[in-house]
A = this chain, B = another copy of it.
């Protein structure tokens, strides 16, 4: 599971930090979380196969999180995309995209499946993963997302299987999947004898924009990587919560309460040219923390 922060600025893009967007690649599928202005240009700088995007998740409709969407859709269409594309976002996103379609003769050559979210729920589910959402606490309706890999089968002990005389081939695959196997000669092999306990899936959580809230903690609980906004820091003195935002300390407290593996802070206000102050503030509470830059790459490895 690979995550690339495409834009890590807040409110307005700068030459250093673009508007909010984050890409996630998992087993050949590519997902986009938020799509601020310039996202398609940032995607061009990544190894992602973004022409084949599986789904786009928009947190909320402030411009710095969604203004890149019409252009990205236009480019996908010019690039001859034919597959339907799922777009999830708050109520209002259909109207916004409809206005672009009507005014611009967008002429999309693929189907847009836009789903407006009105309640916390599972949005996507396959055999391998699911994507869930909960409402965050911002000045406009805003949704947090968790991308969750399902538990994966335990390790297969090939040496033990050899010693027990399990024939190579598809039979071993059945054992891996938890199925017991009977051979024509009467021998029986039990999955539990050769396969270790199933391993937890990996998870990525996207929490911006929001002030600290229970939903953020719930969404992030036990996540491997929490991407959380830290628009401000406490020492800056801005009324972050009044503006529906978080400080670096808030981010660290959410990460601590949720017991995440790593906290990555993003949506950094342009006033923090050097984000060291944010990092120091968060580290006092939660040491496994980084400040994202545009085009940073984060690999979430499976637990051994």
A contacts, CB < 8 Å to B: 11-15, 18-19, 36-38, 40-41, 44-45, 61-64, 66-68, 70-71, 74-75, 78-79, 92-93, 95-96, 98-100, 102-106, 139-140
Contact = CB atoms under 8 A, between A and B. Distances in A.
A67 B70 contact: yes
A100 B96 contact: yes
A15 B44 contact: yes
Contacts of A100: 63, 96, 99
Contacts of A139: 105
Contacts of A36: 71
Contact of A41 (B13, B63, B70, B92): B13
Nearest to A98: B99
Nearest to A66: B104
Nearest to A41: B13
Contacts of A78: 11-12
Contacts of A44: 14-15
27 contacts: A11-B78, A12-B40, A12-B74, A12-B75, A12-B79, A13-B40, A13-B41, A15-B44, A15-B45, A18-B41, A19-B71, A37-B37, A37-B67, A37-B68, A37-B71, A38-B38, A38-B41, A63-B71, A63-B100, A67-B67, A67-B70, A67-B71, A67-B74, A92-B103, A96-B103, A98-B99, A99-B99
Contacts of A140: 105
A139 B37 CA distance: 26
A279 to B, nearest CB: 25
A40 B15 CA distance: 10
A98 B139 CA distance: 20
B13 A63 contact: no
Contacts of A96: 99-100, 103-104
3 A-B pairs closest in CB distance? A99-B99, A12-B75, A37-B71
Contacts of A95: 99, 102-103
A15 B68 CA distance: 15
A98 B11 CA distance: 20
A64 B15 CA distance: 21
Given A38-B41, A71-B37, A105 B12 contact: no
A189 B103 CA distance: 60
Contacts of A11: 74, 78
A11 B70 CA distance: 13
Contacts of A102: 92, 95
B62 A104 contact: yes
A199 to B, nearest CB: 39
Contacts of A98: 99
Contacts of A68: 37
A104 B37 contact: no
